[in-house]
Amino acid sequence: MEKHIVELEAIGVPRPTSVPVYYRVSASRLTTAPSIQVAGDQSSGEVEFVLVRTGGALWVGVGSDHTDRKVETYNITVSKQMCDKPVAAELWPFDDVQDHWDRLVLHSWAISGGHRELYQQGAVAAMLPPLDLASDYLRDGTLLFGGTLPAIGGIRPAERFEFELEDPVTQRSIRHGYDVHVLPVAG
């Protein structure tokens, strides 16, 4: 977590006032679509596990907290609201992974110019414990992003972003990917 904060500071994003910090985003920003549109070329994805509480049950999945990095330097809340948040359509019951949670692994890849390179990789254990996050903020009918890992080679935009949550114990994964279509900034 600290490595990601330092990484953001390097591109001009202020250190959060507290950790954890929760930014509210409109539910309409969640998408399972294969592409998103962004304003300008200063946004990037970041893989995170997601927690969903519905019907009293806790579920786990994976998503990308795609964020406008230029806007993030002066208003983090607005930067989070500017971009769609792609999530995989599949969820696992949290009870299925709770006993081996710390063995789950996040991966993401940035694809530009036809070249696919590893963008992030690491255990979910690097983030705050999911039950701590869920008990404080996750209400029925909501989704919570669980935090991200530092980018390998630095934060950067890409034409496509792919990500997965891997469970090496059960040998299954949840995957998703999306193309990023850049809209021109005219003003």
pLDDT above 90 coverage of the chain, percent: 72
What pTM value is reported for the model?
0.89
97-137 pLDDT, tens digit each: 999 999 999 999 999 999 999 999 999 999 988 988 777 67
Task: Give how far Cα 129 sits from Cα of 14, 101, 108, 124, 156, Å.
Answer: 24, 9, 21, 9, 27
Give me the chain's average pLDDT, please: 91
pLDDT of residue 31: 98
Omega before 20 within 30 of 0, i.e. cis: yes
11-22 pLDDT, tens digit each: 676 676 766 778
